Amino acid sequence: MPRALYSLLVRLLLPCILLRLWWQGLGKRELLRDWQHRLGLVPRSPQPVIWVHAVSVGETIAAAPLVEALLARHPEQPILLTAMTATGRERARALFGQRVRYAYSPWDSPGSVRRFLDRVRPRALVIMETELWPNMIAQSRARGVPVALVNARLSERSARGYRKVAALVRPLLQDLAWIAAQAPEDAHRFLALGAPEDRVAVTGTVKYDIAVQPALREAAAALRAQLGEQRPVWVAGSTHPGESELLLAAQQRLLASHPDALLILVPRHPERFDQVAALVEGAGLRLARRSRGEDAQTAEVYLGDSMGELMQLYGASDAAFIGGSLIDRGGHNPLEPAAWGLPVISGPHVFNFEAVYAALSAGGALSVVTDAESLAQVLLRLLGNPQEAREQGARALAVVEANRGALDRVVAGVSGLLNQGSP
DSSP assignment letter at 130: S
Spatial distance between the Cα atoms of 375 and 384, rounded to a whole number of angstroms: 14
Mean pLDDT over the full length of the chain: 92
| Whole-number CA gyration radius for the chain | 22
Q: Taking a C-beta distance cutoff of 8 angstroms, is the pair 400, 129 a contact?
A: no
pLDDT at 186 over 60: yes
Burial of 21 (0-12, 13-18, 19+ CB in 10 A): middle
- The amino acid present at 388, given as its one-letter code, is E
Q: How confident is the model at residue 30 (pLDDT cuts 50, 70, 90)?
A: confident
Q: Which CATH class is domain 20-204+405-418?
A: alpha beta
Q: Choose between 6 and 364: higher pLDDT.
A: 364
Closest CA to 92 of 84, 81, 106: 81
Tell me the pLDDT band of 1, cut-offs 50, 70 and 90: low
pLDDT exceeds 70 at position 154: yes
Average pLDDT of span 261-273 = 94
**CATH fold label, 214-402:** Rossmann fold (3.40.50)
What is the residue extent of each domain of the chain?
A: 20-204+405-418, 214-402
Confidence bin at 88 (pLDDT 50/70/90): confident
Pairing label, strands 101-104, 178-181: unpaired
User: Which has the higher per-residue pLDDT, 172 or 131?
Assistant: 172
Task: Output the pLDDT for position 119.
Answer: 97
Cα-based distances in Å from 404 to 184, 211, 401: 16, 10, 6
The set of catalytic residues is: 59
Distance separating alpha carbons of residues 352 and 324, to the nearest angstrom: 10
